[in-house]
Amino acid sequence: MIVPHSLILFDASAILTMIIMAYLSRRLGEALKVKPYYRILYITSVVVAISAVVETMSHDISIHVPQSVPMLFRLASACVAFFVCLRYWKWAFSEYLRK
């Protein structure tokens, strides 16, 4: 069983990473004239924060929320964030593989 308080560091690092990637993707998108998909990264960071709060609060005030629900929200937001970042940063993979 995963202790929900041990996920706080993971959630904080995921939120911070998504916010940094949103900022960098916004700057890159302005230069490349790409649609503002970076805003989705802010939404995914909010989803991770909400799932952390729901999981923590459900254990603190004894509301029964299955443990898989917040984990599925984290997984879904991570997958969406990955594909949004891939939209902006796919050129880096081709540059790396070219060498």
Condensed to tens digits (0 to 9), the pLDDT of residues 44-55 reads 999 999 998 888
**pLDDT bracket for residue 93 (50, 70, 90):** confident
C-alpha triplet 32, 97, 91: angle, nearest 5°: 10
Whole-Å CA distances, 98 to 12, 69, 94: 34, 41, 6
Is the pLDDT score of 73 beyond 90? yes
